[in-house]
Amino acid sequence: MTGKKDKAKTIPAANALWGGRFGAGPAEIMEKINASIGFDHRLYRQDIAGSRAHCRMLVAQRIISEADSAAILQGLDQVEAEIAAGKMVFDPKLEDIHMHVESRLKEIIGEAAGRLHTARSRNDQVATDFRLWVRDAIDAIDGALHELLAALIDRAEDYADAVMPGFTHLQAAQPVTFGHHLLAYGEMFSRDRGRFADCRRRLNECPLGAAALAGTSYPIDREMTASALGFDRPTANSLDAVSDRDFALEFLSAASITAVHLSRLAEEIVLWASAQFGFIALSDAFTTGSSIMPQKRNPDAAELARAKAGRVIGALNSLLIVMKGLPLAYSKDMQEDKEATFDAANALALSLAAMTGMVRDLTANRQRMASAAGVGFTTATDLADWLVQRLSMPFRRAHHVAGSLVKLAEEKGCGLEALTLADMQGVEPAITAEVFTVLGVENSVKSRTSFGGTAPTRVREAARRARERLS
């Protein structure tokens, strides 16, 4: 004998939370992998809200006594206050937030605490808590999206007539206005709000009362608990209630799409703020310097918002992979649903706040943008359209003529507007001096008056409609 203690023999006896089925406690590594309190303590408000609703239903159905119910409710208030004040010490031996609440409740009110778990399981309890948490997260994100949209609309109105190059393939394509460009993101974020709203509607069913997987023999009132917690209805199938996380997947899907939209806007801010573009400037509030290069002003907030999209998308992939092979009903794999979801919600909330701040902070360089708008023959389409409208030329022929004039301007090293009338008539004799009215970038954007177009009048109309929708 070496004299060393055998760890397996020093583990405490049965786990009181699991009951008499187990004669010995878990191995140390089992305790670590099994515990979720390190992250699911965030559910404490939702867990206690669910417990209150369950307790009130139990007494209303005469499953527990009025005295026990009063003690439980008073004890839950104390537990919630202690956790909110940071007074609870979380112990991995108690596994999760549900057991921490129940254990502390027992210390406060004694054996009556054990009646709270009548007619429910941790399976329906955690499914309820998690739905409540995701619902709260959606409401917070919707508020953040509202603020971002308000900022975009404000800036779109400020820059409704500021001409800039519109790009395809990151090549100058046609002149647009900066306000029009910003409202494009407004449309994207408006759809994001719709996706979150759809997700909220679908998740708003209450699993409480599904118990472990088969329902319960107690005469519970699931409509009562669902209503008390703000759900539209109870879930219709007890197996489904405890075993699916499609509401979290849908939340992460909507979050991922939103994060991609944020990342695209962040990428443009990074480009626009560079010396090579010079379209916008950000203040010290949303930039950082360099430890070695004193001239640098780095758009780090935009870069980090761009990077955080990876975390959100990764959370969606993670949960999809967790769920893809699980049979009904509950499996412990599903404990991995929360940590990534919490992280994704944090990352998205931070990115939304940063982006809102940057949009409100940025200042556009109108002169630089307008100058860049004319580079790359961006009014060539206007020229082709003029040939169609004034000379009744088929568009394909007009496209060919305009292309020939672009080639000529390229050879001469000038813009289309710098070609002489004689130059143009050498390619197409029917061209008149009127053509020059459509070759300036200002004239180009003013002509784009179709619904949804970039003309300043249309941009102001679009901003007004967007503000009405927002309010």
Distances in whole angstroms, Cα of residue 432 to Cα of each of 397, 425, 428? 17, 8, 10
User: Of the listed 117, 169, 274, 444, which one is catalytic?
Assistant: 169
Task: Supply the DSSP string of 237-305, one letter for each residue.
Answer: -HHHHHH--HHHHHHHHHHHHHHHHHHHHHHHHHHHHSTTT--EE--GGG-B--SS-TT--B-HHHHHH
Widest CA span in the chain:
108
The answer to whether residues 317 and 311 touch, using CB atoms and an 8 Å cutoff, is no
The residues, any chain, with a CB within 8 Å of residue 366's CB and separated by 6 or more, are 159, 162, 163
Distances in whole angstroms, Cα of residue 341 to Cα of each of 191, 325, 381, 435? 21, 19, 47, 57
The answer to whether residues 469 and 190 touch, using CB atoms and an 8 Å cutoff, is yes
Q: What residues form DSSP beta bridges with 298? A: 288
The residues, any chain, with a CB within 8 Å of residue 377's CB and separated by 6 or more, are 172, 406, 409, 410, 415, 416
d(CA 401, CA 424): 9
358 by DSSP, 3-state: which?
helix
d(CA 251, CA 199): 6
User: Of the listed 65, 274, 290, 331, which one is catalytic?
Assistant: 290
Answer yes or no: 290 catalytic.
yes
The answer to whether residues 157 and 99 touch, using CB atoms and an 8 Å cutoff, is no
Closest CA to 238 of 267, 208, 266: 208
Distances in whole angstroms, Cα of residue 158 to Cα of each of 13, 184, 254? 70, 15, 30
Distances in whole angstroms, Cα of residue 126 to Cα of each of 8, 48, 214, 244? 31, 11, 16, 12
Answer yes or no: 169 catalytic.
yes
Residues acting as catalytic residues = 169, 290
